Amino acid sequence: MSPVARIDPLLWLVLMGSVGLLLPHLPLAAVGMVAAALLWRRVHEVRGLPLPHRGLLTLFAVLGGAYVLFHFHAFWGRDAGVTLLIIAAGLKLLETRDERDQYGVLLLSFFLLVSVLLFDQAIWIFLLVGLLFWLLVGAWIGVSQPVSPPIGARMRDGGTLILTGLPFALILFALFPRPPGGLWGVQQPGGAAQTGLSEQMRPGEFDQLGRNPAPAFRVRFEDEVLPPETRYWRVYVMSRLDPDNPEGWTADPPAGTPGLEWVEDSQVRYQVTLEPTGNRTLPALPAAIEAPGRSRIDGNLLIQRPRTVDDRLRYTVTSALEYRLDADGLPAATRERNLQTADLNPLLTDLATEWRDLPPTARVAEALQYFRDNDFRYTLSPGRRDGADRADAFLFDTREGYCADYADAFTRLMRAAGVPARVVTGYQGGETGDDFLVVRQADAHAWSEVWLEGKGWQRVDPTAVVAPERIETGLAESMANDPSLSGVIRRDENDWGRRAQLLVEQMDNRWNQYVLGYDGRIQLNLLAGMGVGGMPPLALALLALALAVVTWVGVLWALARRAERKAAGSLTDYLWQRLQDRLARLGIERDSRESEQAFLERAARARPRDADDLRRIANQLQSSRYARRATRRQEELLQTRLKNLLRRLWLQRRASGRHD
């Protein structure tokens, strides 16, 4: 029985790297299966542990398929398909016995690398996959040869192959006609969901986001960036008290069609790149009037998706900044729900009762004036946050709180005063970058809405009364002196961490916008700038293919010339060899016994128009060959004369061909 071939070391690196990148996206049992297969194969090669019998491998394959079907209830789809693929790669590794079997592992490795990009397309992931692809090409070169070359030579040859095909791929990427949507469709995978707003607002939980500098989403406006005080990004509407904790609030379920009126001239259009949230609601400015595909705008002006946002998502929204919502009236059940109190805060109730005889707008004004007149302070580290009378403690004792505390207390005051009110959570502000706006988790914000007769739901932000700088200039100004916050949140210009993060975010945004988001619209703009914007798709496809092929042939020709020059030993020898080849095509071949000077003299007699140059080259060649020490200037002059003569002979040949 022939010995079992060892797995190529570069292929081992590719397998370990691709499996490592996929591990966070695999079920735990699948992780165990592939880890066991890798370990078994490695112990076999190091310690000689026998590989499993084919019957046992068949049993493993059946069990693996059954597990995938049980876990995902299907064999198709991204998660199920990738899990099947990685189980198959592990089993193939245990089946590999000769060089031919390694080709199967190589092919599976190509698919594994592509699978990584189905989950995450961040630029650093793309670079890692590119590096692993380079290693895989090097492994392929080694496996395909009877005697494997050194790893350094394989990596060099693999890099040359990749660079040769890169111009071909780039031209097709830029010019080949594209359907609507980005490179990977509407969804652009970005990994597991990150921390963000939840469907509950409970005491002490909401303000933890104020310390998180991670981007929540990025925005690119079609026109000018809106001023900070207008940038209220709506995510959840909360009119219900949390049944498990009446001190908190819980989001309303998706409502029906909005009763919306808006001013046509107040519309803005923008594109949002949203990081994974695990929720179905998409942040948007109020009032959204045009939702992205497969989404709808509900009665609370929230954009609802049919599926949770588990991957990075890009979408475009049109919003109207001037609008009226439910101005014609509220249904009785809705009004009652937005007037409910939990009877937990007697002092708050007594204060609000004093305003009940005032008009609703005056009740709102009285509550805001209370915050102005009583030395309230905006802070991420408020006082007591527990107990059934928490809002009383905030309003009459500590008077320190974060935006959620102000929105909570104001909404309860309005309800106790007989004004329908609710809490809205989302984000406010954002930091302007190079050509985009980045909204961080730290920009999470809560405000209130009150319903007024004839006006509908009106936004009231009590935080703007206590800390107007939070709304007008962002969290950085209101928290500039808080050393517990990162330099990114405080926008500290001297903080190297902030500068590094901003640079990374700019690169990431450009990658998302111009590579992952390169769609038909961007391509049309590019083609219009090149003067071929009106070409039909078929003609554009043929043009892209033609340019790609011509460029590819040009690259191959350049590489061939480079190889010839390298084989010649020096640039002078390479040019001299080309001159001999050019003269041979003109019918002047050099005899093997003929010296350089004799050959060039014969060529000069045969081509009188080039005789002077040929004789000068002969003299310089003789000086270069036999001089005791040829100067660099002499060598450069000889190279220049050789290049000029080659160019002239080529032009003469073309002119002769046209004349014929």
What residues are annotated to the active site?
Answer: 403, 445, 461
With b for 16 or more beta-carbon neighbours within 10 A and e for fewer, the 46-58 pattern comes to eeeeebbeeeeee
Strand partners, 460: 448
- Rounded distance between C-alpha atoms, residue 195 and residue 338, angstroms: 29
Q: Do you find a cis peptide bond into 563, omega within 30 degrees of 0?
A: no
Quote the crossing angle between the two packed helices 54-72 and 28-47, to the nearest 10°.
160
How far is residue 72 CA from its own chain's centroid? 27
| Sheet arrangement for strand 240-241 | 200-201, 249-250, 240-241
- Rounded distance between C-alpha atoms, residue 635 and residue 630, angstroms: 7
Taking alpha carbons only, the member of 15, 14, 19 closest to residue 82 is 19
Query: What DSSP character marks residue 515?
Result: I
Cα-based torsion angle of the residue sequence 308, 311, 313, 319 in order, rounded to the nearest 10 degrees: 30
Q: Which pair of tokens denotes residue 473?
A: 């200039």
Q: Name residue 586's amino acid.
A: L
Whether 521 and 514 have beta carbons less than 8 Å apart is answered as no
Taking alpha carbons only, the member of 587, 595, 593 closest to residue 618 is 595
The DSSP string of 338-366 is TT---S--HHHHHHHHTTTTS-HHHHHHH
H-run or E-run covering 581: helix 571-585
How far is residue 618 CA from its own chain's centroid? 61
The DSSP string of 93-132 is HHH--SHHHHHHHHHHHHHHHHHHHHHB--HHHHHHHHHH
